[in-house]
Structure 1
Amino acid sequence: MLIIPAENAVNWKRPPWVTLGLMLACVLVFLFYQGGDSRKLEQAVELYVDAGLPGLEGPAYEEYLQRQIRFQGEEERVFELRRYQKLREEGEAFWLSASLLMDRDFYQYLQQNSDVIWTPTERTHWLEQRTVIEEAYIQQLSAQKLGLIPAKLSLSSLITYQFLHGGWGHIIGNLVFLFLLGFTVEKALGPGRYLLAYLACGALSGLVFTAFSLGSPVPLVGASGSISGLMGMYVAIYGLQKIRFFYFLGVYFNYFRAPALAILPVWLGKEIYDYWFSGATGVAYMAHAGGLLAGAGLVGLLGKSWLQVREEFFEPAEDERDDHFTAGYAQAMDSLGRMNFNLARQQFEALREQYPDRPILLEHLYHLAKLRPDLPEYLSRTRERMNDALSRRQPEQVVAVWQEYLREGESHHPLAAEDHNRVLFASLKQHDLKAAEKAFERLRGAGNPVLTTEACRLLAEEFEKLQMAPKARHYRQLLQAN
């Protein structure tokens, strides 16, 4: 069973650079650092065979597996025993030796019981040869140097193990999920916080794995714990909002919508169930469970402070917003064409709530209000258009709207002194003295002496600059009269 969130699409205009960088880092480490592991293992096997160690360890390995099955109930060891016996029957010397060399639990068992397994001579020979192989080759493998080994946990390994992988299938699978989840979480948190949260989830996942594998010499490698953390963060970011999920069951797949957090216990339950009942699959189920809890917990605990989701994250992408606007605008224009003005007004108002920066919507609402100049709505829309034009530095538009209102609506609901004063300033900015004087006359009639005196002074100064003495004298006389 596979369930992954599929709520968002990638916006390649703003690529998820940190996610892509993490993917690139994993690939480079796998190719150029881990690429030497196969050669080291070949050399180790060659020395192991030359030293005659398969003959010493082989019988001990079969007995070790049988003891694990018989006394400790580890039924998954049955598969390993059968695999070893098959390799021996088929004469696969290389893979037989590699299995013995790389089973770290078996090597630990040999170290603890070598004195009862072999004679003193055999034990001395084994210890000398095995120590050389371990120090020269096995301990130089990437998983041993930088992997997370519970028996010798270090702070650095909590980070480094996240960039190592066990093979092409392992790394490709992880990178696919890293991309599918990472670009959304990166968009929500921002690059810096996303990177720190990703690494923190991987570290916490490693600690949970260590807690369930105390003393184990088997190294953990891979980004799956960190990626599980992304899954936890993903659903915690959306909370109880319903989002889309993709699911795959055998040969059947489809999508469904559900509250995001409702899927978290499903994921956790699956990992815990697999840990107890799936046997030795080589999958670190408890690391996955730890990552899920770490991701959801970090967002839950720090989501109001350090891991605050960006406000614009929940907004639709620009192209989606454009598509939505185009569809809504077409519907409103269709209502206008059918002269259903009330419906058109409602549709334009709804669009304007979502797209307040689209001046065309205010223009339509203004013209609809102008159909009934006797209603107060025409006055309010006129003021909105004048203020909008001022904010866009369009003084000629301010004057044009004002003049239109004087013709259509002034007799019903007069403009205030402040409205005429704004028009006067807009007129002076574009050197339209005729409109400025007309606005001044309206301002005088509105009964605001403070604004009238200031406007009179401005007009007098403007006419003096233009050396229009009669006009300047007229407004100076009005100033003295006031």
Structure 2
Amino acid sequence: MLLIPAEKRLDWKRPPIVTLGLMLACFLVFVFYQSDDGDKIEQATEAYLASDLMSLEAPVYEDFLQRQIEFEGETDRRIELEQFRELRESGEDHFVAFLLLSDRDFFRYLEYSQDIVWTPRERRLWNEQRLPIEQAYVSKLSSFAFGLIPAEMSLYTLITYQFMHGGWGHIIGNLVMLFLLGFTVEKALGPGRFLIAYLLCGAVAGLTFAAFSWGSSVPLVGASGSISGLMGMYMAIFGLRRIRFFYFLFVYFNYFRAPAIALFPVWLGKELYDYWFAGATGIAYMAHAGGLVAGAALVWLLGKSWLQVREEFFEPEQEEQDARFTSSYAQAMGSLSRMEFEVAQRQFEALYARYPDRPILLEHLYQLAKLRPDLPAYRDRARQLMDDAIARRQPERVIALWQEYLSKGEVHQPLSAKDHNRVLFLSIKHDDLKAAEKAFERLRTAGDQILASEACRLLASEFEKRQMTQKARHYQQLL
């Protein structure tokens, strides 16, 4: 069963740059660096078969597996022992050599136990032939060079292992989950904090894996621990909010809603159960559990300080906002149709405060204010609507609004000299000299002599440019 949170939609106008960058980095490392692993393994296997190592190591390997089954309780190794014996009996030397080379715990066992399992001559032969193969090929494999090996812990591998992967299925699955979770968490935290939290969760996941596999030489690779951290952060960010989850069961899929944090114990419990009871699957369950807990803990501990979620993150999706606007707008229009103007005004004011980028609301408020041209509210709305028209580059609309206000509201609440001056400049810019002259006349009576003089000089200049001598002389005389 696949269960994925799916509350937020991706906004490609603001793409998740860090998430896409992490995906690209993993892909490039896998294609251009890890792609050489196949050649290195093949070369190591050929060198191994050309040596006398198989006759030395194969019998010891059977004894090694048997000891792990009997004395260390690793019953899962029983299947490996049976498969190894079948390969030897069928003469599959190539696969036998691959198994002997790839079992890192066996190699470490040979390093520390060679004095016990071999004679001095055999030890010398092993050191002369096996160690050069290790140094030339095996140690240079990506998972051994940059993977997280619990027996050989180093700080840099806590980061580098997160960008390594074990195959196409591994990387594709991780990149899909990284995208589905990453774009939401990055939107909540911001790119910089998201990247630090992602890498930190991966490091904690690696340490958790190492703690439960202490002394193992098997390398951990993959971004799944970091991605589990994203899952933990996702759950903690939404907390008790009911969010959508997508689930897929065999051929059936659907959505359901539940409190986000309710799924946290489900995921954690699944990883712990699989670790104890699923057997040898090659999946780092404890790394997943460590990353999950680390992600949730980061948000719970630092959610009100360094890792605080952006305020705009919890704003409704655009479709939901549109639906809410449509419903509220219909109510306000209903009040208008019933001529409940005061109610409608309050409703449109509330809508405009919430959706200031929707000009239709300002238009309605202007029309309602126009019902009482004697009040200052009409002048204020006229100015607002003219400002909006200027911002939208609608000069004709500005001039029309100005003229309408002159006929209805100017006698009650006169516009300022700056209002008339703005209309004058706009009229000249769009070659409406008739409106410009009218604005100048209003400006002269507004009492600002400095603005009036500048406007007069501008009109004289404009008429002179157009060779309208009489008009130009008129304004020159006024100066």
Pick the TM interval, shorter chain: 0.7 to 0.9
Residues 116 and 320 of structure 1: CA distance in aligned 2, closer, same or farther (over 3 Å): same
Residues 385 and 81 of structure 1: CA distance in aligned 2, closer, same or farther (over 3 Å): farther
**Per-residue deviation, 1:165:** 0.7
Report 1:425-464 matches (<5 A).
Answer: 425-431=418-424, 432-433=439-440, 435=442, 455=447
User: Which whole-Å CA distance do the structure 2 matches of 1:76 and 1:251 have between them?
Assistant: 31
Q: TM-score, normalised by structure 1?
A: 0.79
Offset from partner CA, 1:415-469 (integer Å, 9 cap, x none)? 6xxxx4x54431244352554577x6xxxxxxxxxxxxxx476688689979899
Report 1:5-20 matches (<5 A).
Answer: 5-20=5-20
**Per-residue deviation, 1:366:** 3.9
Report 1:37-436 matches (<5 A).
Answer: 37-316=37-316, 320=319, 323-324=322-323, 327-328=326-327, 331=330, 335=334, 339=338, 341=340, 348-368=348-368, 373=372, 380=377, 383-387=380-384, 389-390=386-387, 396=399, 397=401, 400-401=404-405, 403-405=407-409, 420=414, 422-431=415-424, 432-433=439-440, 435=442
Offset from partner CA, 1:267-310 (integer Å, 9 cap, x none)? 22221222222222111112112212222233333334433333
Give the secondary-structure state (helix, strand or coil) at the position aligned to 1:356: coil
Give the secondary-structure state (helix, strand or coil) at the position aligned to 1:351: helix
The answer on whether the counterparts of 2:440 and 2:456 sit within 8 Å (CA) in structure 1 is no
User: Which whole-Å CA distance do the structure 1 matches of 2:90 and 2:315 have between them?
Assistant: 62
Offset from partner CA, 1:14-64 (integer Å, 9 cap, x none)? 332322222222122112211111111112112222223233322322222
User: Which whole-Å CA distance do the structure 2 matches of 1:296 and 1:154 have between them?
Assistant: 25
Larger displacement relative to structure 2 (232-241 or 384-393): 384-393
Residues 40 and 459 of structure 1: CA distance in aligned 2, closer, same or farther (over 3 Å): closer
Which residue is 2:32 aligned to?
32
1:320 alignment partner AA: E
Larger displacement relative to structure 2 (266-275 or 397-406): 397-406
Q: TM-score, normalised by structure 2?
A: 0.80
Residues 53 and 322 of structure 1: CA distance in aligned 2, closer, same or farther (over 3 Å): same
Larger displacement relative to structure 2 (337-346 or 301-310): 337-346
User: Which whole-Å CA distance do the structure 1 matches of 2:161 and 2:155 have between them?
Assistant: 11
Offset from partner CA, 1:293-335 (integer Å, 9 cap, x none)? 2222333333344333333333356x53784477447735863
Any gaps of 5 or more consecutive residues in structure 2? 425-438, 461-473
Residues 423 and 90 of structure 1: CA distance in aligned 2, closer, same or farther (over 3 Å): farther
1:131 alignment partner AA: L
2:383 alignment partner AA: M
User: Which whole-Å CA distance do the structure 2 matches of 1:332 and 1:304 have between them?
Assistant: 38
Which residue is 1:448 aligned to?
none
User: Which whole-Å CA distance do the structure 1 matches of 2:297 and 2:262 have between them?
Assistant: 15
User: Which whole-Å CA distance do the structure 1 matches of 2:456 and 2:349 have between them?
Assistant: 47
The answer on whether the counterparts of 2:247 and 2:255 sit within 8 Å (CA) in structure 1 is yes
Residues 457 and 282 of structure 1: CA distance in aligned 2, closer, same or farther (over 3 Å): same
Residues 404 and 360 of structure 1: CA distance in aligned 2, closer, same or farther (over 3 Å): farther
Offset from partner CA, 1:163-198 (integer Å, 9 cap, x none)? 111111111111111111122222233333332332
Query: Kindly, what percent of the aligned residue pairs are identical?
Result: 56
Any gaps of 5 or more consecutive residues in structure 1? 441-454, 473-482
Larger displacement relative to structure 2 (381-390 or 172-181): 381-390
RMSD across aligned positions (CA): 3.5
The answer on whether the counterparts of 2:417 and 2:451 sit within 8 Å (CA) in structure 1 is no
Offset from partner CA, 1:141-160 (integer Å, 9 cap, x none)? 11111111122222221121
Give the secondary-structure state (helix, strand or coil) at the position aligned to 2:49: helix
The answer on whether the counterparts of 1:149 and 1:216 sit within 8 Å (CA) in structure 2 is yes
**Per-residue deviation, 1:139:** 0.6
The answer on whether the counterparts of 1:402 and 1:423 sit within 8 Å (CA) in structure 2 is no
**Per-residue deviation, 1:340:** 6.9
User: Which whole-Å CA distance do the structure 1 matches of 2:188 and 2:388 have between them?
Assistant: 32
